[in-house]
């Protein structure tokens, strides 16, 4: 039995993916190589997700009262291998905790320790929450690269300004509490990297795992008229550079694939009427990467099964 864990900050597209995958598994509208094998305890929750997805409605945000774990049990039709997909439908705090307070929810920690593979979500339809060096270059102009003059040391004026070692200014302590560092406002990538580090840090012993990076809302990433466009790998390397470099630098621990996924098929509510016109709902779904069939969201899951091609 292979155990997979779904990971991602709030709004990274987890619930929509699960709703669409659930529909693919039960509706049998397009051929996929996985099938459901048994009902799960969270059947009612999965039904509600699927119904919202069928109605082209956005998924509800997780509230404290509805927090919980969703489980999908499936089987590979060709190899008969069993797979449990564990989806913590928790609010964002659970994934942020390792980076923000140095602790991890006990159930989440156990699931991370047990997981043979991870599906990690990040949403392409989201403003970057961190400025990239490239963006700074756009703001400052290319002249900044030609600056040959040696930097003059910052003038010391300890009465008015505290200066960090990198030269940036900080407000004097207590004067501007609003500008104080708030761990929960750290960028998504920082939180995800710290979360992944927990999997290979004591008290756990490190081991190599498969990780499928799912770039959700892939429909918003531009393609040209021929349908060619940026690959999911390139998008990941340029738009999530810290996470991408962390995984690459630790390739002894992470066996990685990147997929672009449109589980909803478009933006809601803008594209609702167009999506409703798609006669076979499963055909709203698109996935790209590693030879996945057009609508087959199960491709990254099958890759994580033993003996997968």
Ligand X SMILES: Nc1nc2c(ncn2[C@@H]2O[C@H](COP(=O)(O)OP(=O)(O)O)[C@@H](O)[C@H]2O)c(=O)[nH]1
Residues in contact with Mg ion by the rule CB under 5 A: 15
Can residue 125 be called a binding residue for ligand X (CB under 6 A)? yes
Q: Which does 219 bind (CB under 5 to 8 A by kind): Mg ion, ligand X, none?
A: ligand X
Of the residues 4, 5, 7, 16, which one makes contact with ligand X according to CB under 6 A: 16
Among 2, 5, 7, 8, binds ligand X (CB under 6 A): 8
Q: Out of ligand X, Mg ion, none, which partner does residue 268 contact, by CB within 5 to 8 A per kind?
A: ligand X
In the list Mg ion, ligand X, none, the entry touching 8 (Cβ below 5 to 8 angstroms by class) is ligand X
Contact flag: residue 68 with ligand X (CB under 6 A): no
Ranked by CB distance to Mg ion, the top (closest) residue is: 15
CB nearer ligand X, residue 83 or residue 217: 217
Total residues contacting ligand X by CB under 6 A comes to 23
For the window 199-238, what string marks contact with ligand X as x by the rule CB under 6 A? Answer: -----------------xx-xx------------------
Considering only residues 243 to 302 of the shown chain, the ones binding ligand X according to CB under 6 A are: 262-264, 266-268
SS3 sequence of the chain: CEEEEEECCCCCCHHHHHHHHHHHHHHCCCCCCEEECCCCCCHHHHHHHHHHHHCCCCCCCCCHHHCEEEEEEEEECCCCCEEEEEEEECCCHHHHHHHHHCCCCHHHHHHHHHCCEEEEEEECCCCCCCCCHHHHHHHHCHHHHHCCCCCCCCCCCCCCCEECCCCCEECCCCCCHHHCCCHHHCCHHHHHHHHHHHCCCCCCCCCCEEEEEEEECHHHCCECCCCCECCHHHHHHHHCHHHHHHHHHCCCCEEEEEEEEECCCCCCCCCHHHHHCCCCHHHHCEEECCCCCCCCCCHHHHHHCCCCC
We find the least distance from the C-beta atom of residue 172 to Mg ion, in angstroms, to be: 41
Residue 104 contact among ligand X, Mg ion, none, beta carbon within 5 to 8 Å by kind: none
- If contact means CB under 5 to 8 A according to the sort of partner, which of Mg ion, ligand X, none does residue 73 touch? none
Residue 48 or 290: the one with the smaller Cβ distance to Mg ion is 48
Minimum CB separation from Mg ion for residue 117, in Å?
20
Q: Is 122 in the site for ligand X (CB under 6 A)?
A: no
Any contact of residue 10 with ligand X (CB under 6 A)? Answer: yes
Cβ nearer to Mg ion, comparing 15 with 264:
15
Residues making contact with ligand X (CB under 6 A): 8, 10-16, 58-59, 121, 123, 125, 216-217, 219-220, 262-264, 266-268
């Amino acid at each position: 039995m292979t155990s997979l864990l779904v990971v991602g900050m709030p709004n990274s597209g987890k619930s929509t993916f699960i709703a669409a995958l659930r529909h693919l598994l039960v509706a049998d509208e397009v051929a996929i190589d996985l099938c459901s094998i048994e009902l799960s305890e969270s059947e009612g929750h999965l039904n509600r997700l699927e119904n919202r997805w069928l109605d082209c409605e956005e998924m509800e945000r997780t509230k404290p009262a509805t927090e919980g774990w969703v489980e999908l049990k499936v089987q590979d039709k060709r190899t008969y291998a069993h797979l449990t997909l564990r989806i913590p439908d928790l609010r964002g705090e659970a994934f942020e905790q390792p980076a923000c307070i140095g602790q991890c929810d006990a159930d989440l920690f156990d699931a991370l320790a047990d997981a043979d593979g991870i599906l990690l979500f990040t949403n392409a339809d989201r403003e970057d929450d961190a400025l990239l060096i490239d963006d700074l270059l756009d703001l400052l102009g290319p002249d900044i690269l030609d600056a040959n003059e040696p930097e003059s040391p910052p003038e010391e004026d300890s009465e008015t300004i505290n200066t960090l070692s990198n030269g940036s200014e900080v407000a004097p302590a207590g004067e501007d509490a609003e500008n104080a560092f708030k761990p929960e406002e750290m960028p998504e990538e920082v939180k995800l990297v710290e979360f992944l580090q927990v999997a290979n840090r004591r008290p756990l012993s490190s081991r190599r795992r498969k990780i499928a990076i799912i770039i959700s809302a892939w429909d918003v990433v531009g393609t040209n008229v021929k349908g060619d466009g940026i690959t999911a790998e390139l998008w990941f390397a340029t738009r999530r550079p810290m996470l991408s470099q962390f995984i690459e630098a630790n390739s002894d621990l992470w066996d990685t694939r990147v997929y672009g996924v449109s589980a909803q098929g478009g933006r809601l509510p803008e594209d609702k009427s167009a999506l409703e016109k798609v006669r076979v709902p499963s055909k709203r779904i698109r996935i790209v990467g590693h030879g996945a069939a057009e609508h087959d969201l199960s491709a990254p899951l099958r890759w994580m099964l033993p003996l997968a091609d």
